Amino acid sequence: MDAVTATVITRLEEARAADTRTRDRVCDEAAAELLAAGTPPAFEVRTADLRLDPFFMCADRYWRRRFQERPTAVTAVECARWMEDRVTADSWGAVAEQWALGNGFLNRGAVDSAELPAAAVAGAGGGDGGQRIAFFVTLFHAGKLRANFCFDELHAFLEFSPTSVASGPLRGEPVFVALKSFAAFGSRTLTVEHATGLLERAWSAPGRTRHTVDICLNGLAFAGPFPGQGELLRSHAEEAVRAHPGDHMFHARLATGLHMSGRHDAALENIDTALALLAASPTASLGALQDQYLTKRDAIQEGRLRALRDAEQQLRWEQQSAANAQLERSLHTSSVRAVEVVAVFTAAIAFAVGSLQVTLTGDLALSDRLWLLAAQGAGLAVFGLLIVGGTWLITRSHHQRDRSGG
């Protein structure tokens, strides 16, 4: 063991008991010393804890800088080979997902052609070690394509590329299936049913990891619109928040699902929670994520205000509709009353004219004339009642509809 490595290990051991700020500083300095000396970390990594394990934190910073200097599949192969010797078997999967996907996202601006990862993996050899190296390189390249939302290209790479095929049975890992789901949700050639099937397969897998959950929710959030999308994202994000209550990303995904479902107040509460958790997070991409969350918050606020305006407009429409209905009922009632008055008035005029003819002409006796007037009046009264009754029967159903609708 050289002097630089011995010094770094001693400092990292001491950093275990230090506070968070001091531990971060020590890990940054140790990674910089290893880079300057041209010496990869020569210690074992046993966890993927970015908050408490100084050895993982130091190795993470070392390889992040290596990827930034040369963000290619060649660096991914070198990192995977180092992991074969230095990362314990029980932590290899978590470390591989963290480094491959994370560095793919951070270096999304430097996307290799699909042939370069295949060429880099070609010399990795076979067996379990070769498959793990191919799997790591596949995740690294897929992380770039995912970050750039190259859905169809990602689908083709995962399904058909030699690098992906060389991963062997590791292609059945939940995180790999989640990436296929992400690609399918964004593709314009694959169906929503196919994407949803992949999503549920990855989501229900026993070995589901935090990155698997994140990719599943990411695919749902950025999928082309489809019926039930908001509710599906909301229900899965709620489950993720219950399992990881301190994860800012899952609160942000939940806010997106609630926003899609029209529950703007709850969405605003969750995006504010995501911003607060992000501020306390040591993530390297805090600035970019904060911008994304603030943009989402603005969209939620705008949707909330639009919903309030729509509710007010709907209330005004309902009030206007009620007023129009009342006016229509009043006009209808007035016209019916007018018909009834005209009928009665017509009967009265006819009675008056007829009674004058009876009384002024003819030579009937007074008693006969009185009986004739009585009969004529009764007939005209019956006529008036028939007109009024018929009008009431005709308009009764209309009145009933008005009452039931009111």
Chain segment 121-147, per-residue pLDDT in tens: 876 666 678 899 999 999 999 999 999
395: containing domain: 320-405
- At 328-379, the pLDDT tens digits run 666 666 666 666 556 556 655 655 555 555 555 556 666 766 676 677 667 6
Percent of the chain clearing pLDDT 90 (strictly above) = 57
113 has pLDDT over 60: yes
Q: Does residue 342 fall inside a structural domain?
A: yes
Q: Does residue 343 fall inside a structural domain?
A: yes
Q: Does residue 368 fall inside a structural domain?
A: yes
Q: Does residue 347 fall inside a structural domain?
A: yes
Q: Does residue 156 fall inside a structural domain?
A: no
Q: Does residue 23 fall inside a structural domain?
A: no
Q: Does residue 326 fall inside a structural domain?
A: yes
- At 64-73, the pLDDT tens digits run 999 999 999 9
- At 5-33, the pLDDT tens digits run 899 999 999 999 988 889 999 999 999 99
pLDDT the model gives residue 158: 96
Count structural domains, the chain: 1
Residue 397's pLDDT band, with cuts at 50, 70 and 90, is low
List the single range of 183-192, 298-307, 328-337 with lowest mean pLDDT.
328-337
3-state secondary structure the chain: CCHHHHHHHHHHHHHCCCCHHHHHHHHHHHHHHHHHHCCCCCCCECCCCCCCCHHHHHHHHHHHHHHHHCCCHHHHHHHHHHHHHHECHHHHHHHHHHHHHHHHHHCCCCCCCCHHHHHHHHCCCCHHHHHHHHHHHHHHHHHHHHHCCCHHHHHHHHHHCHHHHCCHHHHHCHHHHHHHHHHHHHCCCCCHHHHHHHHHHHHCCCCCCHHHHHHHHHHHHCCCCCCCHHHHHHHHHHHHHHHCCCCHHHHHHHHHHHHHCCCHHHHHHHHHHHHHHHHCCCCCCHHHHHHHHHHHHHHHHHHHHHHHHHHHHHHHHHHHHHHHHHHHHHHHHHHHHHHHHHHHHHHHHHHHHHHHHHHHCCCCCHHHHHHHHHHHHHHHHHHHHHHHHHHHHHHHHHHHHHHHHC
383 has pLDDT over 70: no
Q: What is the mean pLDDT of the chain?
A: 84
Residue 80's pLDDT band, with cuts at 50, 70 and 90, is very high
Q: Does residue 48 fall inside a structural domain?
A: no
- At 30-44, the pLDDT tens digits run 999 999 999 999 999
pLDDT the model gives residue 14: 93
pLDDT the model gives residue 167: 93
List the single range of 42-51, 275-284, 294-303 with lowest mean pLDDT.
275-284
